Amino acid sequence: MLINRETNYTNLEIIPVWIHPLEEMRAVKPLCSEEVLRVIALLEDPASDPSDDLLDPCIFALEQHSDDNSEPEQASDSEWEDEVETLCEPTELCFYHIYYKPGNGSPPEKTSRIPISVWIFGVKLQGILDAGSERSYINEKVYEDIKHLAAGELQDDQTKEGVLLAYHSTCKSRGGAPFIIQVGSVAGEQYLSVLPDLGYSLVLGMDFATKFEVQIDCKNSTWKFSDSPEVFLFQPINCHEKSAHLCAMSELQEVKLKHFLETELRKFDEVSNLGAIKIIQHEIKILEDLLYYRRPDPLKEILGDEDEWKKVLTDHKVPETLRRNHVEPDAGHLGRDKMYERIKTKFY
């Protein structure tokens, strides 16, 4: 299948369609020119693992029939049969048709930094899927090597502040260009910003994850595309720049840390010589902006003590509480001792 350069590749998805080999293929004659780079047709053994890399470089041998600047010419029947016999065994062929499928724009369920293999027209790039990155980036050197495979021209970077790096410095990108990328059995157009000194060949960010509807299961260390049955395993990537920074300690810092630990540990030694210290277990809660206190007592729990939770009285509320419990009609003029006992029962 030939793909027009002006086709809208947003949220593209690959669907396999199995057909018969040579008799069916003779009816489809490719253009042997630069347009072959736009072909998404896979000659794959159906019995192979569907998780294998699908864009094998051998299928792009068709490009060698002519130079990039030559006019498109139709391949002869004999040439086409030779290509088919060279590229695959005479079994069933698998074509992967691409169609537009709008997404719901939902972000991934969880975020992580995941190693990922990406194919760009026969070129395999090792990068990461970083849901903590807003945009997707490609290393400047890698871009120079594969810029002829881009689906469009390099566009200027419109951001004023640049990209915030891990060391809290900013870096301006050279711009960006769209590429047709493939991960597993899913392919589509992705805009990649060209960034100098990028630590990876490729970084796919949240724009990729949202557009292709990526779902990440950090608990089971798997991720997938929402509309694809393929499930990919991954191992978490440690943030080396942060861990290296935290582990680095100067000699002066080591001396201060040692002194601090010795001082604090000495306090525990002094406390241990004082004998046993009674620790009272208690609970507190806030109810209607008032503080309540409870000291767990197994006996009260058995008896069902209704006054287990006591309202905490602040200093300025104590006089008013004493007066109210002494003069209120239901207080019953219990006298001073009984009044204090009642307050102790109700309040803390």
pLDDT at 17 over 80: no
pLDDT at 343 over 90: no
Indicate whether this model's pTM tops 0.75: no
* Per-residue pLDDT, 286: 76
pLDDT at 60 over 80: no
* Per-residue pLDDT, 99: 29
Mean pLDDT computed over 50-76: 38
Average pLDDT, the chain: 64
Residue-wise pLDDT tens digits, 126-176: 888 887 788 888 989 999 999 899 988 888 877 666 666 655 566 778 888
The better pLDDT of the pair 185, 234 is held by 185
Mean pLDDT computed over 254-274: 75
Q: Which of 163-167, 200-204, 232-236, 325-329 has the highest mean pLDDT?
A: 200-204
Share of the chain above pLDDT 90, in %: 5
Choose among 115, 239, 116, 252: nearest CA to 167. Answer: 239
* Per-residue pLDDT, 205: 86
* Per-residue pLDDT, 166: 53
Q: Is 93 left (phi over 0), alpha (psi -120 to 50) or beta?
A: beta
Name the band, by pLDDT with cuts 50, 70 and 90, for residue 348.
low
Beta carbons of 162 and 172 less than 8 angstroms apart: yes
Q: What distance in Å separates the CA atoms of residue 88 and residue 20, rounded to the nearest whole number?
A: 13
The better pLDDT of the pair 26, 266 is held by 266
pLDDT at 208 over 60: yes
Share of the chain above pLDDT 70, in %: 47
Mean pLDDT computed over 335-346: 69
The better pLDDT of the pair 317, 348 is held by 317
* Per-residue pLDDT, 257: 81
Beta carbons of 300 and 308 less than 8 angstroms apart: yes
pLDDT at 27 over 60: no
Mean pLDDT computed over 48-60: 37
* Per-residue pLDDT, 248: 64
Choose among 203, 221, 200, 223: nearest CA to 213. Answer: 223
Q: Which of 36-45, 190-199, 263-272 has the highest mean pLDDT?
A: 190-199
Mean pLDDT computed over 210-225: 84
* Per-residue pLDDT, 82: 44
Residue-wise pLDDT tens digits, 175-194: 889 999 999 888 899 999 89
